[in-house]
């Protein structure tokens, strides 16, 4: 992939593709970000692809946890309501 390939920007900026004008205006930003990503790779001893995969899995896990919590809250609410119905019209 090209996340940390510093030569990619120069190759693309020198091409005749329609987006080259926008790319050339952002070359410095792109190179700075690529260098930062390379630093992250070195610090974590993981490729950016691995970091992205870990992030994807974490996001999926967090979504599942939120969904499970919501289901638990709804189930507890149904339980409370069913118990409360047993005590209706008892003066409590």
pTM given for the model:
0.64
Burial class (CB in 10 A: 0-12, 13-18, 19+), 88: exposed
Cα distance between residue 45 and residue 39, in whole Å: 10
pLDDT in tens for each of the 92 residues of the chain? Answer: 788 888 888 888 888 888 888 888 888 899 999 999 999 899 989 999 999 999 999 999 999 999 999 999 999 999 999 999 988 888 75
């Amino acid at each position: 992939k090209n996340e940390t390939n510093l030569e990619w920007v120069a190759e693309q900026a020198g091409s005749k593709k329609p987006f080259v004008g926008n790319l050339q205006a952002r070359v410095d930003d792109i190179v700075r970000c690529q260098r930062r990503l390379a630093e992250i790779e070195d610090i974590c001893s993981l490729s950016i692809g691995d970091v992205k995969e870990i992030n994807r899995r974490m996001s999926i896990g967090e979504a599942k946890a939120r969904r499970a919590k919501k289901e638990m809250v709804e189930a507890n609410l149904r339980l409370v309501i069913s118990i409360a119905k047993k005590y209706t019209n008892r003066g409590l």
